[in-house]
Amino acid sequence: MKRFISLILLTTGALWGVACSSSKPDEALLQQLSSMDKATIFSKAEDLYAKEKYKQARKLYAFLYDSFPNDPLGHKAAVKVADCYFQYHDTANITEARLRYRDFVNRYPNDPDRAYALLMLGRTYTAKRLRPDRDLSSAHDALDSFQQLVNLYPNSKYVQEARKSIADVKEVLAEHEYEVAHFYARNKRWIATLWRLEYLKENYPDYPHMDQVDALQKQAQEAWDRIKEKIEKIREKEKKAKKD
């Protein structure tokens, strides 16, 4: 096993040496890894991760995954690489984490860490606060990931967190529907208001501000009923005028 790792390290080191003259720190790390087995490397990576040295830990995890892509420890290292990226909250790192969690979910459908990867995939979409007045594609993607976890792994230890996240995301989506309905109401587009509120009540019955929905729905229905009444009176007058 050590001979196999050493061969990989020598080949990788040679390629890196050709590609970049600033690779000396990496070469030193590779030389250090050549004397370790995969379990020791993973343990060292875990220790670095626990100390929040995520970039250093990521190099070890990445090496393990690249070297042993079909090994259970290699699979675990792949998830940990994504975790390292997720620890940095800027857009670039969150996006990279998302790509890696999604790749893991698609690549290893039977892996025991797939439920966790689905949870974290969803969290990459909710890492930045979702707002009902912004593009909601991230909210829908997050909901899809969390819902997959709940549906596919109902006994997972991550289900409770996923359900809580589903409720939070649905509240944002419901709030969006309410704001759109309120916009229609302000512009006296009563049918559109009613349709939007009906959609909200049907799809997000647990929305915590349903009293506001009911109040706006009542206002819209009464306004629309008054319009229909006026229309009916006009029609009656027209009928009467024709008879006369």
Which tokens go with 31? 């030389």
Establish if 240 belongs to a structural domain: no
Q: What is the mean pLDDT of each run of 10 residues along the chain (244 residues)?
A: 47 39 58 80 96 95 92 96 96 97 96 97 94 91 98 97 97 97 96 97 96 97 94 80 70
Establish if 71 belongs to a structural domain: yes
- Terminal C-alpha separation, the chain: 104
Could you tell me the pTM of the whole model? 0.81
Establish if 231 belongs to a structural domain: no
Establish if 127 belongs to a structural domain: no
Establish if 148 belongs to a structural domain: no
Q: Specify the pLDDT at position 226.
A: 94
Establish if 18 belongs to a structural domain: no
Establish if 45 belongs to a structural domain: yes
Distances (CA, A) of 194 to 161, 205, 210, 226, 231: 34, 16, 14, 14, 19
Establish if 24 belongs to a structural domain: no
Could you list the residue range(s) of the whole structural domain that residue 74 is in?
Answer: 32-88
The count of domains in the chain is 1
* Distance (Å, whole) CA 218 – CA 193: 11
Q: Specify the pLDDT at position 25.
A: 52
User: What string of DSSP letters covers 26-77?
Assistant: HHHHHHHHTTS-HHHHHHHHHHHHHTT-HHHHHHHHHHHHHH-TTSHHHHHH
Q: Specify the pLDDT at position 15.
A: 36
Q: Specify the pLDDT at position 16.
A: 37
Residue with tokens 């929040």: 52
